Each structure stands twice: as structure tokens, then as C-alpha cells.
Structure 1
């Protein structure tokens, strides 16, 4: 799940997890990053129950 994936990077990410901004790698490349993916509607917000998929590019939002 997303909080546990965040915790692999740093334990504070898991403890303070708020949400994850997720885009597929293919869309990330096609739209030149998160900004372009957001403009094209390819970026989505996911919560604590999201199961991370192979190829996801994720920006974790957290607060500690």
C-alpha cells in the first residue's frame, strides 16, 4: 500500500502520509513530468489504500 511504499524511502513518509500523486511512467515521459501529466489529466491522487503498481511515478505528500 502507498504508506508502506513511502516508508521504504523514509519512515517519516509512512508516519505522516497524507496522499500520493501518481502517474504512470509512460505518461510521465509522454507529458514531460508531473506538471504536464497534471495538465493532461493523467496524474491522479491516491489515498492510504492505494496499492502501488510497477511503473508508477509517485510524489508522496506527508506531514510530520
Structure 2
């Protein structure tokens, strides 16, 4: 299973190699991750009863 996943990632990167090398596509992280509700909460300081948004700019 692990070798199959590695091959899948290698193929994905190879298929987008030109875009990656020219800077049109950025690869930050490729990982298989299973999150449960609440796993990604708590990384920003603020009041718990108010939603905090973090703007992400896709340049």
C-alpha cells in the first residue's frame, strides 16, 4: 500500500512538473491525513465564541 501511494504521488508531481518548475503551481505538502472534527482548532489566539478567519492569498 505504501509503495502504491508513493508511486501515485510521484506520478502526480511528474504530471505537473512544468507548472511546478515555472512557479505556476506550488506544492506545499502532499500527505494523506485523516482529521477528526476539532483537530485543526486552536491554532489562533482569540475569543472562543468568535470565529477568526485567516486570509490565504493564492498568487
Q: Normalization by structure 1: what TM-score?
A: 0.22
Bigger Rg over Cα: 2
Q: Which has the higher helix share?
A: 1
Higher RCO, Cα 8 Å, sep 6+ = 1
